[in-house]
Amino acid sequence: MDSPRVERILIVLAVALAVLCAGFLGLGVYFYGLSRTLPDLRVDPRAVKPARTSVVYAADGSLLAAWHGEQDRTVITIDQVPQSLRDAVVAIEDERFFQHQGVDIKAILRAMRANTEEGSYAQGGSTITQQVVKILFTDGERTLSRKVREALMAYELETKADKDQVLETYLNLVYFGEGSYGVESAARHYFGKPASALSVSESALLAGLIRSPSRYSPAEHPDAAAARRDVVLAKMLELGFLTPTEYKAALEEKVVYAPAPRTSQVAPYFVEYVKQSLIDELGSEAVFTGGLRVYTTLRPDLQADAEEAARAFLPAPEDPEVSVVCIDHTSGEIVAMVGGRDFASDKFNLAVQGKRQPGSAFKPFVLVTALDQGIRPTDVFSATPYTVKVTDGVWHVQNYENAAAAPSMTLAAATDWSVNAVYARLIMKVGPERVAATAKAMGITSPLDANPAIALGGLRTGVSPLEMATAYGTIASGGIRRDPIAVRRVTDDEGTVVWEPARSEVRVLQQGVAKQASRMLHDVIENGTGQAAKIGRWAAGKTGTTQAYRDAWFVGYSGDLCSAVWVGYRQAQVPMTDVHGIKVTGGSFPARIWQRFMAKAVAEDVTSQKRLPSGGNGGSAQEGVAVKICTQSLLIANERCPDTVDMYLDKALVPSATCGLH
C-alpha cells in the first residue's frame, strides 16, 4: 500500500476518532449538566407523601365520608398489598422489574421494535422505577432531555431504595381511573373492599387498568376490561406467578363489582360542619390531601332517630323545615345534627348558621339570673300587660295573643305558662345587662344587646339551635358550661395525632341555681306549655314562639342529652298560622318532634330516670290546688276553651275569674 494512501486512511481515522471523542465528551458534558439538575433522591421514596384521601368516622367507627381533592388516594404499606396484586402489576407493567437497575435496555429495544412493526406507539419501555420518577420528580414533558433525566434518576433511585420500597411507592401513586389513585382507593372503588382482600382475578383486572384506565374501564367497557384481565392472567402464568390450576380458577372467577357510590350521605350537614371547622383549624390542603383520619362525635343511631323525628310531622316539601341539634351535655359532644330537609338542594346549615328569634325559649336566661340574685320561684309578680320606658322609647308587653291574664302569679306559674308580662317585669328587676352576660356565659355566642326585649327573645341577630342546646346543657350539667365539639381527635394515616379540640369546663352558674331552674323547667313539661314533650321519664325544657308564629322552638334535656328543635321556613320569617290546620307554637310541632326523638334517645339511659324534686316552688307539685287553666286567657278554663292544661297552684294564687274569651 502506497504511503499517500496510508496517510489518508490515518487522517480519516484520526478525524473519526476526534469526532467520536468530541461526541463522547459532549455527551459526557450533557449528562453531567443534567445530573447537576437532578433532585436529591436520598430520601426513602415511601417518605414522599402524595395527595391522600382523608377519611371521616362516626363515634361508633363507621364511615361517614371521604374527602379528597382531585386525587382520591389512601396510602398503604407493601405488606398490605396481596402478593397476587404485586405479581399482576409487575407481570404486565415491568416483567424484568426485579432484574434491572432502574432502566431496562432490553425492554426499550423490544418496545422500539414493536412500535416500528406497528407503525405507531404500541409499547412503552419505561420501568416501574422510571414511572415513579416521572410521577414524583418530573413534569411529564415528552422530550429527549426528560427521558434522559428519568433514566438517570431511576438508576440513582434504585441505589437509594430497595425494590419493595419502589414498588410500594408505585402502587400508592399510580392512577386506576374514575378518580382512584393507588391500589387501596381503587380496590375500594371497584370492588368495595380493601386491597388486602382482593382475589387473583380482581388483582389482574386492576393491574390491567394501569395502561389505559379509560379504554379498559369496567363501567364503560366491561368486555375490554375482562379481555385485558385475561391478558394479565396469561402473563402471570407465563412468568410463573400462577400455576395452571390457579390460572384456570382465576379465568373462571366471576368478577363482582361494587355498586355505584351512593349520592346520599350520613349526616351531611354535620359532616360539612366538621369539614369547615377543620379547614379553619388545619387548612384546606391538610383536609383534602393530607390523608387525615377524623374521629367525630356523631352517633349514627341518634342521627337516624333525629332525622326520622324531623320528617315524621312535617314531611311535605311545602311544610316548614326542621332543625335538630343534640348534645351530650356531660362532655359537650354533638351526637346528632339535622341542618335542614335536603342537603343536596341547599347546603345552608340551619342548625349552625341559622340565626332565628328564640321567643320565650330565651326566658331561662332571665330565670337563672333572677334565681342567682335571690328571687324565689314563689315570689309573686303582676301578670297584667306591662308598659315601661326604655332607652329607645316605650316598651309595651302583652301576654299570649294579647289575652287577659290573672292579675298576679308566682314566678313558677309564669314560667310554666310563659307569661310575657311577668318576665318583662323580671328582666327590669334583674337588669338586661346581667341577663345578656348570663346567656353569654352559658353558651350563647351570637351578639346580644342589653335590651329588655331579650327577655322575650327579641334579639338583634337571633341564635342558632347549636347555641341553644349548648346553653341549656349548662343548666342540665348543674351550672357547668361545656363548649360543643364535633371532633374527638384527628390523626394522620399512620395514627399520629395531629389535632385534638380543647375541652373546656367552666362553672358559670351555682349548682343550686341550676338545680332550681331544672325543677322549674321540668314543671313546664309536666304542667305547662311543654306537655307535648312528655317522654315518660324526667325531662325539663322550654317552649318558644315568636311574633306572628314565624319561629317555633322547643329546647330541653333528659339524662345526659340536651336537644334543641327549631321549626320555621328557611327562606324567610314566614308566619306559620296554618300548618296542617294549626298555628305553630313551641308547644306544638317542636315539642312533639323533641318528644319523638328524645323518647328513643334516652330509652336506655338510666340517668334520665333519676328525678329531681318536682314543682316550681321547690317542693312537690301536689302541694297546690289542682286547677284547669285556659292557655290563652290564663284564667280558669270553661268547657269551651280549646287549649287547656291542668296545673297545681297555691290557694292564694288560683285565679278568681273564669275565662270569658270562649
Where residue 75 falls among pLDDT bands split at 50, 70, 90?
Answer: confident
Average pLDDT over residues 335-359: 94
Q: Does the pLDDT at position 4 exceed 50? A: yes
Crossing angle of helices 420-430 and 363-372, in 10° steps, is 50
Q: Which three cell numbers stand for residue 290?
A: 393530607
Least confident of 256-270, 440-454, 616-630: 616-630
Distance of CA 437 to the CA centre of its chain: 31
pLDDT, averaged across the chain:
85
Predicted TM-score (pTM) of the model is: 0.75
pLDDT of 623 > 50? The answer is no
Give the separation between CA 191 and CA 202, rounded to whole angstroms: 8
Q: What percent of the chain has pLDDT over 90?
A: 58
Q: Which three cell numbers stand for residue 537?
A: 321519664
Nearest to 524 by CA among 650, 621, 622: 621
The residue ranking higher by pLDDT, 32 or 533, is 533
Task: Please report the beta strands in 264-392, taking only residues with DSSP state E, as ranges in sequence order.
Answer: 293-296, 321-328, 333-338, 380-382, 386-390
Give dist(CA 503, CA 489) in Å, integer.
11
pLDDT at residue 99 is higher than 90: no
Q: What is the pLDDT of residue 158?
A: 77
Examine the pLDDT at 367 and tell me if it is beyond 80.
yes
Distances in Å between the Cα of 191 and the Cα atoms of 87, 185, 206, 230 are 19, 10, 10, 18
CA 260 to chain centre: 22
Pairing between β-strand 321-328 and β-strand 561-568 as defined by DSSP bridges: antiparallel
